[in-house]
Structure 1
């Protein structure tokens, strides 16, 4: 088995820190001379994206500016679509461009839900993204786990299924919220379950 080189590990750190908005860590890695275009070990969680792409799409503007000043190329047309959607801008991409965006990263709704980017959900759906997409979890699981109640509500309004179970632990979004002590989300999801289980009257 090949071992990661020190350079790859530094590049991994740059990609991770850029995606999470860790400004000081990005500064430290750049001071070590890491290539701003380096993709490290290309961990699948980052879907092959560059550090600048991740920072720009997730709204970490200070990091994105720093990486551009260090020579990172600008976003391509697909990443411009991603960034606009994450800012909550209405979907205006052509059908062909929207298809390429979904094909490149069908899991973007997971990231939006994890971050609590409620404003991104409708643009993503309008572009053709599946708001029930499942990787290790669904967007609803992510939003519930992190306590993003507004995101949870909007996902359900847009058709997300609160009864879906994740493939690893067989948990529902409600159980994920319970596990992370997100009581507001638990209460809301429990109220939905109570409503759907009420007997109908003829």
Structure 2
């Protein structure tokens, strides 16, 4: 799996980084403030006396987490050029949010938190064999956040975060200019909509995919606007796949249904993930069920489990119980769908980890038959392939009471805290169900957790 953001060069080679070093050397010599700041962060005052090309190469190596240019060069030469999966959309999140995440992580590193040490070893090469994280610096914490989001360096994360803000502002301005057209859509004015350009129709269809992208309107699972008006837009559209991706993300179930009927491709992959992967990773079970009727894409153990297809899950294993190689042809990557938040350590080929991914996504979507089947096969109820987030954590947001009961009956520990939010099962319940604490399902889940905690 690639660790590279989808907007970055697909396969940067040694020559690419040599040119970057030369550019840094030139811009530093001209007094460029950004270049001087980069160099000072690594070399301090030393560069003021002498700054050679070799020093620029050293700065690049350090920014990527390596001790030396030689180690960085060896890493580049050893990389596979066949793996290139884009990750992590940045949807207008401000750079300060990532700086805050890095500050929090640095505090965890300084107190040598085991999960933070894992992340340090995974993403900062010079700490690959470290037994303590206490000596880590702020730039190490920032590099970890950047790498978890698909960026080779913190500088590139900040640069593309700022770009995402500009892109978001441009999209919002474009939508504001369609005020009268949006009014026509809401009123079902098909005559006015018939005069729109294809670009305007595409923009309105894109807006219709989000819950709050139309000013003053909250769209839920229902279509929410007159069907005849949407049909006019569909007849003019040039691309139905982008709206499908966003509608799957927002659980706009009836709009997903309409787009599929109109010819949108359920197998399309945009920004690293398919509509089904978006629906799975964002807890949209109704959308998962609808998309699965049109085909499970990608075909893999974790998607079969999330869709509740026990027959397909079983087929992923050999008669002797070994995992079939094709069961892991596609792996989940939460950063593809969670819009700029880290989700896991780098995936490995460990069959236990692959099975763990499938297990927690079955918990996430309340697929109790699949969950029970995995538990009967010996999967531990507290397996946590994503930064300490167990099946119990995954089942709570959707209120999957029967799955939660089964996990607790099989020994799940509600006191376990995930590595990202540092909260236990009761904390997850409060985080996702605080708005309706007296809901019968919420109260039953709380009772189950409290009874297991005694």
- TM-score, with length taken from structure 1: 0.62
Q: What aligned pairs does 1:162-181 form with structure 2 within 5 A after superposition? A: 162-179=414-431, 180=433, 181=437
- After superposition, the Cα gap between the structure-2 partners of 1:45 and 1:9, relative to the gap in structure 1 and judged at 3 Å, is closer
Tell me the distance in 2 between the aligned counterparts of 1:63 and 1:45.
Answer: 8
Tell me the distance in 1 between the aligned counterparts of 2:304 and 2:265.
Answer: 24
SS at match of 2:257: helix
- Residues 268 and 274 in structure 2, CA contact (< 8 A), matched pair in contact too: no
- Residues 397 and 428 in structure 2, CA contact (< 8 A), matched pair in contact too: yes
- Residues 122 and 158 in structure 1, CA contact (< 8 A), matched pair in contact too: no
Could you tell me which residue of structure 1 aligns to residue 102 of structure 2? none
- Residues 305 and 359 in structure 2, CA contact (< 8 A), matched pair in contact too: no
- TM-score, with length taken from structure 2: 0.32
Q: What aligned pairs does 1:116-127 form with structure 2 within 5 A after superposition? A: 116-125=366-375
* Residue 145 (structure 1) aligned to one of 382, 386, 397: 397
Tell me the distance in 2 between the aligned counterparts of 1:143 and 1:115.
Answer: 7
Q: What aligned pairs does 1:80-91 form with structure 2 within 5 A after superposition? A: 82=304, 86-88=308-310, 91=314
- After superposition, the Cα gap between the structure-2 partners of 1:87 and 1:175, relative to the gap in structure 1 and judged at 3 Å, is same
Tell me the distance in 1 between the aligned counterparts of 2:409 and 2:330.
Answer: 26
Unaligned runs of 5+ in 2: 1-159, 168-205, 207-238, 332-353
Tell me the distance in 2 between the aligned counterparts of 1:43 and 1:103.
Answer: 14
- Residues 110 and 142 in structure 1, CA contact (< 8 A), matched pair in contact too: yes
Could you tell me which residue of structure 1 aligns to residue 187 of structure 2? none
Does 1:188 pair with 2:438? no
Query: How many residues are matched?
Result: 179
- After superposition, the Cα gap between the structure-2 partners of 1:97 and 1:169, relative to the gap in structure 1 and judged at 3 Å, is closer
Could you tell me which residue of structure 2 aligns to residue 30 of structure 1? 260
Deviations 1:58-110 (A, max 9, x none): 5x2x5444x36xxx99x85x459925982455946313445653685432223
Tell me the distance in 2 between the aligned counterparts of 1:100 and 1:157.
Answer: 32
Unaligned runs of 5+ in 1: 195-202
* Residue 327 (structure 2) aligned to one of 93, 97, 101: 101
Pairwise CA distance, 1:133: 1.8
SS at match of 1:86: coil
Tell me the distance in 1 between the aligned counterparts of 2:255 and 2:392.
Answer: 30
Tell me the distance in 1 between the aligned counterparts of 2:449 and 2:274.
Answer: 31
Tell me the distance in 1 between the aligned counterparts of 2:453 and 2:401.
Answer: 16
Could you tell me which residue of structure 2 aligns to residue 9 of structure 1? 242
In angstroms, what is the RMSD of aligned CA positions? 4.5
- After superposition, the Cα gap between the structure-2 partners of 1:84 and 1:135, relative to the gap in structure 1 and judged at 3 Å, is closer
Could you tell me which residue of structure 2 aligns to residue 198 of structure 1? none
Could you tell me which residue of structure 1 aligns to residue 270 of structure 2? 40
- Residues 11 and 34 in structure 1, CA contact (< 8 A), matched pair in contact too: yes
- Residues 415 and 425 in structure 2, CA contact (< 8 A), matched pair in contact too: yes
Pairwise CA distance, 1:47: 5.7
Tell me the distance in 2 between the aligned counterparts of 1:104 and 1:128.
Answer: 23
- After superposition, the Cα gap between the structure-2 partners of 1:34 and 1:44, relative to the gap in structure 1 and judged at 3 Å, is closer
